[in-house]
Amino acid sequence: MVMFSSRPPFNDDPKPWRCTSCSDRFVREQVSPTSHVTKHQPRTKFDRPQHNPTNLILAEFRSIEAEGVWKDVPRWASAGAWVDMIDEDPSMSRGEDWGLLAGLPHYAEIDHARRVLERLARLP
């Protein structure tokens, strides 16, 4: 079985916010309309090395969960729903894009995601 990470690589950029007009860098977002207009763009030189590639399915699961879409749903229930979605969609077994992911999941990613989500679904 291929091992994957469930998160995108970490980035330790001390000034991840960049001004869109002058390229100055900031620790926090600048919100003043008369000041700099900033965009979150951490520099890749501050990426931490990651030993395993990111599993796109689990990264998407984490990002949706972080947005609070399922704030009233227990984590085990949302993980179970994702397992059902993987099992019910025949395109997943072929590794086709199923509308939620930016890239195409590999069959090994699908297998890994199913195992991780099944474990989460069993948690109380």
* Domain residue spans of the chain: 17-46, 56-122
* 3-state helix vs strand vs coil in the chain, percent to 5: 40, 10, 50
- In the chain (124 residues long), the average pLDDT of successive 10-residue segments reads 75 90 86 79 87 80 72 69 72 48 65 84 74
First to last CA, the chain: 26
Check residue 99 and give its pLDDT: 46
Alpha-carbon distance of 14 to 75, in angstroms, equals: 32
Check residue 14 and give its pLDDT: 93
Q: Which pTM value belongs to this model?
A: 0.56
